[in-house]
Amino acid sequence: MPPIIQVALDTPLPRLFDYRVPEGQDIPPVGALVEVPFGRTRQIGVALGTTDSSLIETGKLRDLLRVLDDRPAISADILRLAQFCADYYHYPLGAILLSSLPPRLRRAAPFTTPAPWLVVTEAGRLAAPPARAQAQRVLLDTLKISAQARSALLEKKQGRHASTLVAAGWAGWASWAQVAPASRDAPASAPHPEATPEQQAALDTLLPTMSCFGVHLVHGVTGCGKTELYLRLIDHALRAGRQCLVLIPEIALTPQLEQHFRARFPGRHIVTLHSGLAEKARAENWLASAGCDMLIGTRLSVFAPLPRLGLIVVDEEHDGSFKQQDGLRYSARDVAITRGKQMNAPVVLGSATPSLESYAQALNGRYQLIELKQRAIRQARLPDIRLIDLKHLPLDNGLSHAAVQALADTLARGEQSLVFLNRRGYAPALYCPSCAWVSPCPHCSGRLVLHRATSPTRRAARLKCHHCGHETGVPAVCPGCGNPDLKALGQGTQRVEETLATLLPDARIRRIDRDTMRPRAWAELGHAVRTREVDILVGTQMLAKGHDFPDMTLAVILDTDGALYSPDFRATERLFAQLMQVSGRAGRADKPGQVLIQTAFPDHPLFRYLQRHDYAGYARELLKERTQLDLPPVTRQVLLRAEAVSMDAALAFLRRAAGCVPARPQVSVFNPTPAPMARVANLERAQLLIQSTTRQALQGFVRDWRPALENIKPRIARWSLDVDPLVF
């Protein structure tokens, strides 16, 4: 009987698929990528071992087509992590495994294995090549310093000398390795600032715990030196020969952190990984991460191969970007904690405004809480926060006179300012004052946003949907009544930039949003700000966190009030975090900082806590409210989402789903409702909320419920499960 292997494929079916191994073909190892027939197509899958029997008759089983590489592409620890995600998020294992790989590696075409590393051996460390072998001596000395060199980086002539070093006649002074080993003898970290008393106290608490798993929440005010704390913990792990994973929420933070880390750890192998990389670079970096010392990346990096993982740092752990909103809807922060537990590696979560979930875990003792309450630079003070009451105040395209005057005064002092508005484009909508037509998106429930041309060479103004991507020209007259006098309704970053250029003609203004920035542009922006080529930055949430601009002393925050009357119970939590993060960009050095917040609700309790920089007080207040209302983190939630061509079909599916729920006294099932954004890309969306006071009861409920969901016929809607949802 031919061997039968089980293969995980990227399909919505939560099962493995059986295939015969052809005669003469070796059985692929667990984790290897294989190509198999699937229906009328061919697919790449992951071999997960052999089985003695199959539900399909042996004669009807189809043959494995080929093995892409004899070595496992997915290691045993990543398989364990993927299995956890499949169980917890109730998502097919094959889809998780394949989506964790870079796109180039999950295609049918064979991928090119990266060039090997030339690694100095113990004999080579003690060797002294003869005087005549000058080139080999130079290369060997280089290897002794850096421990290894990539063969692709060696010059052709050096490549020949490398072969000599590896040859048996030279006693094996070097060897080729596909994965770089730990660079234990890399140069020590570069000179660094002396730790503040608070940082040293935190290190004294943390360092003794770095040899085993534990979750440590570092709650530090903006500018307190959390990055310096991370660097010292990373240095400790690297000296022990362990690898470090640093997760960041935004691609925009990558250049600044990478530059900082490379300067601090010269000679160390540091790799970055994020979706902004070209396909080839992303695949190469993913493969190189197995042998790197440190990996810096966004949420997808949590699945990267790191066999010697010894420390995980999740910076800005509160950020919603760590939660994926399509496909496998996982939280990279939570998956990182699971990976740390599986690898017995400590996990450090850091934020000036921790998520309520993490803060509650710290208060109940499950996480160790480390607090940094002072800024790292001795002269730096937390900025003064002043509220501008918008009631009865005239505005110039969203800007009050007080805000413009503060910007002018800061400009006159030769200091820098930031204007924050979390809305890109010129205006949120185009409006007809005659018939009240407001530029609707033909495919969504949202409005089309007005974008002006950014330069004379660009095409004219456009209307764009930020949900489905639909784009169209600006109508000459109102489609409803023919009125030619259409108005831009509200403000976006483009309009604020234009207004400031008119009011402050001498200011050098730079707009920062998704329309102007690409990953490679961030390094140039940081240089421009630090060399004083920019006076005012106008931007969205891209500027809210992580950036350190020493000469920035003023932050002006516009249009904050929408979240105060949002139906989303997390809206005020997000608003407080956003305002505190933006405020933290001001006054980070020796010059005092000031923050101006425009609001029509200056008496709201949120602002009182914000003015005192009292995150802990506000968090405890929110936790009391959540306890009274039975909302997370006191309870656990799962959201069943449905999409269909009509709202009736989506709601009908959810009603059928609610009709086959298993009986659980600890689980509450709410009525189906349309989603807040009810229509996106011509699909109507509805949702069904399930809630429980315990994670175990909720997981058991969903595990028993899912087979019934898969058997609902006819398939009138596309559905998905979102465990621990953040967006409703």
pLDDT tens per residue, range 646-704: 999 999 999 999 999 888 889 999 999 999 999 999 999 999 999 999 999 999 999 99
Residue 172 has pLDDT above 70, yes or no: no
| Letter string b/e over residues 169-179, b meaning 16 or more CB atoms within 10 A of that residue's CB | ebeebbbeeeb
Mean pLDDT of the region 427-434: 95
Residue 505 has pLDDT above 60, yes or no: yes
Evaluate the CA torsion angle 340, 345, 350, 354 in order and state its sign: positive
Mean pLDDT of the region 443-456: 86
Residue 403 has pLDDT above 80, yes or no: yes
Evaluate the CA torsion angle 555, 558, 560, 561 in order and state its sign: positive
Instruction: Summarize pLDDT for 296-327 with one digit per residue, the tens.
Output: 999 999 999 999 999 999 999 999 999 999 99
Q: What is the mean pLDDT of the chain?
A: 88
Burial of 668 (0-12, 13-18, 19+ CB in 10 A): middle
Distance CA 68, CA 54 (A): 24
| DSSP conformational letter for 118 | E
Mean pLDDT of the region 580-595: 88
More confident residue, 295 or 126: 295
Single-letter amino acid, residue 522: W
**Confidence tier at 147 by pLDDT (50, 70, 90):** very low
pLDDT at 554: 96
Q: Are 280 and 104 in contact (CB under 8 A)?
A: yes
The helix/strand count (H/E) of the chain reads as 19, 31
Instruction: Summarize pLDDT for 81-115 with one digit per residue, the tens.
Output: 999 999 999 999 999 999 999 988 887 555 555 55
Tell me what percent of the residues of the chain surpass a pLDDT of 70: 87
Distance CA 497, CA 499 (A): 6
More confident residue, 494 or 257: 494
Q: Which residues make beta-bridge pairs with 45?
A: 9, 34
pLDDT at 109: 52
pLDDT at 233: 97
Burial of 116 (0-12, 13-18, 19+ CB in 10 A): middle
Tell me what percent of the residues of the chain surpass a pLDDT of 90: 68
pLDDT at 154: 41
Mean pLDDT of the region 281-295: 90
Mean pLDDT of the region 219-241: 93
Instruction: Summarize pLDDT for 454-477 with one digit per residue, the tens.
Output: 655 455 789 999 999 999 999 999
Pinpoint the alpha helices (H) of 378-454.
401-412
